[in-house]
Structure 1
């Protein structure tokens, strides 16, 4: 479909008031990332251009849909004509998804449950609706035996002709799912091996950064250091082979290693300087005990401030790497500090991590 034809279709549907994708289109930002093949990366495009692509990024600050990634195709018996996974919701006695977007070649699909009231993930948004949304998402994922590693960022574009799309004219409040018998208890935490906030990405990030803080003290050039970090990332990634959903794609693991390597190299002078080192200040022997104690207290406070700075920046990097909302509250939770502390470092976080930038 060309851009011209898409515009004609949208205008026609709008005039007739019959277009089933109105709410989906309106939920997308003016510029949105999209791709036809993740091997070639994603790009920001105007909405009308992005809608021509097979995969599109749904709004991360304005959650209009719960999207579930269904990979269970056992019922298809290997036949692409039997769309077994598209009807798992019926078998599990769950409500019908608004959109079921199906790959006709392997029967894998995405369920889109449209919400009457979107859940906001902006900086000042309330946490309670977010938890309700997340618990509902996890419960649906569990009941449908869907992909728990799916982060809900990129989805099959329901308007693209590569997919078969089934539409139900339904919207939901979060409370509606419990009326259908969905049990939110027991689904509030992801599997331990996948990490607390962002799945395998976060597990890889945390393991890699802790290892890199020691490794960076060795006499490397930057190029050599980044190379060993890349190799270590692939090694850690292999440990996920026994997880339910296996290892991360190599390029995804490489993205994590690049962010860890760059930041660790840039901040190596301040890494690992905690703890007591009584000779580190090189105080003059003729200084009085009181003066030495005052200087030591100043040094301790400076060191503590550096440690806090590192903690909040690392937390922000981990959240961004995992594709999670990057707010003062989420950084504070991950760094185990107060939101006020994070706020004092917010400009530094923006400089180091880029609050509105993507990882290269």
Structure 2
């Protein structure tokens, strides 16, 4: 179980011993000496929950839920983190489908509700199960998302969330405030990852406004679910948003009607190259992550097994090796 946890981490991991002193990217071997580590956010291998109540290590049993793969307990106050390991990680890259993400988020939200876990926890940093500060309970259990349907009624929790949201309009308020902000913000970013990170931060910031509502703030993970939907849609349509006239996308503010045909074609070619490069980068990164997930050495042969065509590797060899150095 712990080997799987180690293998899912990238080679550079944000970690800390004390959040008051900030976090820092470190090599995996060094990061694993710290008390807290950041779980991989590009592909979700774990559902992470924070149980703030003392003596909660076995609440899963009391609630008739399946055992967490790893329970990490603070011996000083008996509070803990639950980690449910997934057989197939849920990808959060630009080209990843939204449907599996929503399924993952629904399971996460339902488990949070049933276990009365911390609503403000976003699943970013977890107690490092290899650190001597914590006590660790392991169960030989890895799950498909569908497995949780046997233990929780997802439809009940979805209806409950919709009902509670309708009482105060928090979801609607968050969605509309966030999308209008995102339409302008997207122009400031050159990659989906940095843009989505900014949208996530803004969603959490807007969510704080609901402290004055009778039902309080939305669960942080619920706010982030709205952020993912807004971020993904806005990024996909970033070249057409706000264009009331002829659609020239990102070039709308750059094309001068007095330009000759050759100049317009040249500008369009540069833009097409940028978009194509971004898409290729995403394919390379996804293949690298799949290699790591399967425990394969990251080399051309294994990258091809994980979805990166050999022709793409040969054409973008330098870019591929740059990403390997960064991610693997």
With normalisation by structure 2, the TM-score equals 0.55
Q: Is the 8 Å Cα contact of residues 45 and 86 (structure 2) preserved in structure 1?
A: yes
Q: 1:237, CA displacement in angstroms? A: 5.4
Unaligned residue ranges in structure 2 (runs of 5+): 182-204, 242-247, 251-270, 276-328
Q: 1:104, CA displacement in angstroms? A: 1.2
Q: Which residue of 1 aligns with 2:153?
A: 183
1:22-78 CA distance string (max 9 Å, x none): 10011011111111111111111111111111111100111110111111x2xx5xx
Q: Which residue of 2 aligns with 1:23?
A: 4
Q: 1:246, CA displacement in angstroms? A: 8.0
Q: Distance in 2 between matches of 1:70 and 1:109?
A: 5
SS at 2:41 equivalent: coil
Q: 1:186, CA displacement in angstroms? A: 3.8
Note the 1:56-67 alignment, pairs <5 A. 56-67=37-48
Q: Which residue of 2 aligns with 1:141?
A: 112
Q: Distance in 1 between matches of 2:40 and 2:31?
A: 13
Note the 1:100-249 alignment, pairs <5 A. 100-179=71-150, 181-188=151-158, 189=161, 192=165, 196=171, 240=211
Q: Which residue of 1 aligns with 2:261?
A: none
Structure 2 residue aligned with 1:48, among 18, 22, 29? 29
Distance 1:169 1:40, change over 3 A: same
Q: Distance in 1 between matches of 2:109 and 2:128?
A: 22
Count residues with an aligned counterpart. Answer: 219
Asked whether 1:98 is paired with 2:98, we answer no
Asked whether 1:341 is paired with 2:240, we answer yes
Q: 1:143, CA displacement in angstroms? A: 0.7
Distance 1:244 1:153, change over 3 A: farther
SS at 2:86 equivalent: strand
RMSD (CA atoms) = 4.3
Q: 1:331, CA displacement in angstroms? A: 2.0
Distance 1:238 1:332, change over 3 A: closer
Asked whether 1:32 is paired with 2:13, we answer yes
SS at 1:66 equivalent: strand
Asked whether 1:331 is paired with 2:267, we answer no
Larger radius of gyration: 1
